[in-house]
């Protein structure tokens, strides 16, 4: 009887502590879900980032008095509102007279918050960047009273994504006059005239209109953009790569551009990441059939030169979704072990829901995740827009939940691999000295081995081949936060965490 009691106790402890990857994390919010009402009308969360202290910043737009304004919410790591941010954790900003939308949020090395999006003044749209102090107050040293507005005469200009260079300059990716466009701002919010043509690099796809939806800086400093362009009667995945001066990189695709036409139906590229081996992932949605209208989440792998990597998935592309339903991906993350997660939403035509899919590094669906590779929020109404991997391996998705008359910002947290409900995952496999660090680190790597440093979104921020046994790396230009350092040898890959002060 005693042995049976001990077994039952151990079993109960095990089931209480360990959770299957892809299930909701019941220790977060209300059963894994946090819902935040900013205005009493419609509130849409579009983008998210994690601060070095673990606090969560989500941006989007809220409808107030018949128009939309930028809205920002900061949460504590447990999902509660952070009342040190604008006194109640929530902030609304009116950048223009009619409508204002926030599409990207970034944290500078000095902890200031940069928000990029666009505004509409009643006749045209302009790119807009807002900078806040860490407490949520407007940073009046940036732009005009904290706001930089970018207006190229005669065109609608929208910033759909943004990223920070190592030198603090701001890159905006979007579209001007319905063409792929990248804008670079100086740290004070003014246009950087050394980039492109007076701060703007714009390209025209021969197939027609094109739209950047994501932008990253690769490990070699080149600027990679991804989105979609019109093709043979439909939209499909498109990418372009720029040099640091804004000129197209002719070593990528055809004269710096690539375009993949999947045939019938619209196909939308929405997120891009660089892998540790230099290959590129572009994720989004691919058309399957109609009627009924069926879409699947999709991720394509490219070689470093933009050519399709046919060793990945099926002929270079991997898909996931629910049979005979619409399944869309908005966010993309790469785990330290190389597994790929897509975040978005699924609809059966009447009900929407958050959904994740996870793939193995070769593009096969990871059947150990959720329900045969798919994880659903299990709550009526909602769209997942952005994804972040947390330091303990858990998965955080931001977006919105809604009813017939209103919608709220939403955060949903899922369990990751070998999660525990209070014990942080231990990735420590080799030594970095010092750690945490602010300026320089030393790694005993072994001559000839490869070192990759990635941020928590999976973007590679540094890579090298060790020329000596001990490698010294300058990390002073990296923003504060957590990074993953991976050491690649002929026999084993090891990953450990690095904290940048």
pLDDT at 13: 37
- Predicted confidence (pLDDT) per residue in 64-82, tens digit: 988 999 999 999 999 999 9
Tens of pLDDT along 99-150? Answer: 999 999 999 999 999 999 999 988 889 999 999 999 999 999 999 999 999 9
pLDDT at 381 over 90: no
Q: Using 50, 70 and 90 to split pLDDT, how confident is the model at 232?
A: low
pLDDT tens, position by position, 244-266 = 999 999 999 999 999 998 767 89
pLDDT band at 463 (very low <50, low <70, confident <90, very high): confident
Please name the residue that has the structure tokens 């230009």.
Answer: 477
Q: List the single range of 168-177, 361-370, 415-424, 486-495 with lowest mean pLDDT.
A: 415-424
Mean pLDDT of 468-477: 87
For residue 473, the SS3 value is strand
pLDDT digits (tens, 9 = 90+) for 299-355: 999 999 999 999 999 999 999 999 999 999 999 999 999 999 999 999 987 888 999
CB distance 20 to 367 below 8 Å: no
Check if the beta carbon of residue 173 is closer than 8 Å to that of residue 215: yes
231 has pLDDT over 80: no
Please state, in angstroms and rounded to a whole number, the distance separating the CA atoms of residues 356 and 345.
8
pLDDT attached to residue 10: 36
Residue 11 reports pLDDT greater than 50: no
121's enclosing H/E stretch is none
Q: Check residue 17 and give its pLDDT.
A: 43
State the pLDDT at residue 488. Answer: 72
The answer, yes or no, to whether residue 7 has pLDDT greater than 70, is no
Q: What is the pLDDT of residue 490?
A: 57
Tokens of 372: 């045969």
pTM (predicted TM-score)? 0.83
Closest Cα partner for 283 from 240, 331, 221, 234?
Answer: 331
CA gyration radius, the chain = 22
pLDDT at position 489, please? 64
DSSP H or E segment with residue 6? helix 2-17
* CA nearest to 124, candidates 155, 96, 97, 102: 155
Q: What is the DSSP letter of 117?
A: E
The SS3 of residue 429 is coil
Percent of the chain with pLDDT over 90: 67
What DSSP string runs through 285-343? EEEEETTTTEEEEEEEEE-TTS-B-TTTTBTTEEEE--TTSEEEEEEEEE-TTS-EEEE
Query: Could you read off the pLDDT of 409-451 as tens digits, one per residue?
Result: 999 999 998 643 332 333 334 678 888 898 899 888 777 778 8
More confident residue, 231 or 149: 149
């Amino acid at each position: 009887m005693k042995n049976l009691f001990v077994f039952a106790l151990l079993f109960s402890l095990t089931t209480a502590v360990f959770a299957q990857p892809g299930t909701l994390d019941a220790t977060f919010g209300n059963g894994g879900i946090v819902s935040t009402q900013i205005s009493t009308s419609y509130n849409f969360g579009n983008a998210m980032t994690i601060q070095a202290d673990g606090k969560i910043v989500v941006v989007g737009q809220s409808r107030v008095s018949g128009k939309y304004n930028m809205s920002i919410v900061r949460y504590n790591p447990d999902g509660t509102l952070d009342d040190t941010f604008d006194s109640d954790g929530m902030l609304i900003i009116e950048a223009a007279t009619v409508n204002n939308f926030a599409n990207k949020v970034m944290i500078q090395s000095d902890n200031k918050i940069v928000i990029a999006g666009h505004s509409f003044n009643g006749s045209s749209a302009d790119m807009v960047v807002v900078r806040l102090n860490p407490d949520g107050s407007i940073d009046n040293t940036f732009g005009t009273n904290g706001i930089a507005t970018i207006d190229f005469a005669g065109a609608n200009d929208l910033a759909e994504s943004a990223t920070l260079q190592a030198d603090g300059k701001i890159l905006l990716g979007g579209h001007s006059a319905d063409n792929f466009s990248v804008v670079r701002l100086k740290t004070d919010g003014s246009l950087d005239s050394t980039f492109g043509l007076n701060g703007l690099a714009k390209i025209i796809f021969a197939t027609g209109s094109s739209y950047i939806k994501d932008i990253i800086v690769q490990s070699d400093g080149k600027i990679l953009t991804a989105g979609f362009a019109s093709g043979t009667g439909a939209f499909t995945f498109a990418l372009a790569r720029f040099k640091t001066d804004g000129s197209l990189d002719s070593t990528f695709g055809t004269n710096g551009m690539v375009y993949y036409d999947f045939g019938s139906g619209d196909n939308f590229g929405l997120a891009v990441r660089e892998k540790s081996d230099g290959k590129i992932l572009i994720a989004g949605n691919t058309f399957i059939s109609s009627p009924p209208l069926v879409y699947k989440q999709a991720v394509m792998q490219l070689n470093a030169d933009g050519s399709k990597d046919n060793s990945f998935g099926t002929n270079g592309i991997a898909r996931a979704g629910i049979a005979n339903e619409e399944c869309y991906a908005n966010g993309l993350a790469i785990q330290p072990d190389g597994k790929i997660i897509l975040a978005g939403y699924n609809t059966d035509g009447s009900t929407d829901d958050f959904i994740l899919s996870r793939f193995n590094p070769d593009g096969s669906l990871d059947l150990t995740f959720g329900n045969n590779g798919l994880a659903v929020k299990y709550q009526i109404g909602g769209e997942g827009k952005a994804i972040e991997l947390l330091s303990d391996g858990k998965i955080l998705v931001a977006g919105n939940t809604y009813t017939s008359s209103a919608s709220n910002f939403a955060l949903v947290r899922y369990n990751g691999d070998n999660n525990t409900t209070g014990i942080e995952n231990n990735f420590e496999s080799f030594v970095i000295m010092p750690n945490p660090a602010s300026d320089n680190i030393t790694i005993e790597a072994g001559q000839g081995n490869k070192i990759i440093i990635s941020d928590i979104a999976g973007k590679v921020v540094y890579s090298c081949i060790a020329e000596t046994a001990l490698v010294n790396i300058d990390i002073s230009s990296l923003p504060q936060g957590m990074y993953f350092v991976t050491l690649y040898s002929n026999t084993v890959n090891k990953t450990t965490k690095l904290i940048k002060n």
